[in-house]
């Protein structure tokens, strides 16, 4: 099996879709390689492409705030990655062929990290990893088991920045994720 380091190197060489042409950096993932909980966003934006790290822009700051409130931190106990490793131009939604071309990297990351819980951050990740008609507004915070891993979803921080009334729901979700993890670790 690959290590995250060898997978990272393969990802840097990847030309499986057109997005490699305009990337500054791949955005592979950050955090604890032994994390029990993995957060999956959609795709890198401009800041992420420039820095090579997920969720470092305005929505990343809000995500960190929500995580930190329940004691999750990318420096300690979680891992964060995206469905796509390269930035789509002008931050448009990832195309189905781009998601298909990139997904094997994420699947290998999940295999290597072997988390107890995978949290889809926003609709794109939830529809790719949980079910294709997933509705964040009605299904956030619910758990579905797949191959021994619990999958769940919450609001994307960029959506919360557009509609701040969603923030308390995301805060409740984070509490739920923390509680579920404690329950699973007993």
Residue from 37, 38, 39, 59 in contact with ligand URA (CB under 6 A)? 59
Residue from 29, 45, 88, 141 in contact with ligand URA (CB under 6 A)? 45
Three-state SS for 78? Answer: strand
CA-based torsion, 156, 139, 112, 97: positive or negative: negative
The pairing of beta strand 37-41 with beta strand 149-154: unpaired
| Distance of alpha carbon 129 from alpha carbon 146, whole angstroms | 10
Residue 82 interacts with ligand URA (CB under 6 A)? Answer: yes
Return the ∠ at Cα 63 (arms to 2 and 4), rounded to 5°.
5
Residue span binding ligand URA (CB under 6 A) among the ranges 47-55, 67-75, 141-149, 176-184 = 47-55
Residue 154 interacts with ligand URA (CB under 6 A)? Answer: no
Residue 42 interacts with ligand URA (CB under 6 A)? Answer: yes
What does the block give as tokens for 178?
A: 């923390």
Binding mask 2-41 for ligand URA (x = CB under 6 A): -------------------------x-------------x
**Residue closer to ligand URA, measured from CB, 107 or 184:** 107
């Amino acid at each position: 099996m690959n290590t995250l380091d060898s997978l990272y190197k393969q990802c840097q060489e990847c030309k499986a879709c057109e997005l490699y042409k305009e990337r500054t950096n791949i955005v592979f993932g950050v955090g604890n390689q032994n994390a029990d909980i993995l957060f999956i966003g959609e795709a890198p934006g401009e800041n992420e492409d420039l820095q090579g790290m997920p969720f470092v822009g305005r929505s990343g700051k809000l995500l960190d705030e929500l995580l930190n409130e329940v004691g999750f931190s990318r420096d300690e106990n979680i891992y964060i990655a995206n469905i796509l490793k390269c930035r789509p131009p002008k931050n448009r939604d990832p195309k189905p062929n781009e998601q298909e071309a990139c997904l094997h990297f994420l699947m290998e990351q999940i295999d290597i990290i072997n988390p107890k819980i995978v949290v889809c951050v926003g609709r794109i990740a939830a529809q790719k990893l949980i079910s294709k008609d997933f509705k964040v507004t009605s299904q956030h915070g619910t758990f579905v088991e797949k191959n021994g891993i619990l999958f769940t979803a919450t609001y994307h921080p960029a959506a919360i920045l557009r509609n701040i009334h969603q923030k308390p729901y995301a805060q409740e979700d984070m509490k739920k994720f923390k509680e579920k993890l404690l329950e699973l670790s007993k």
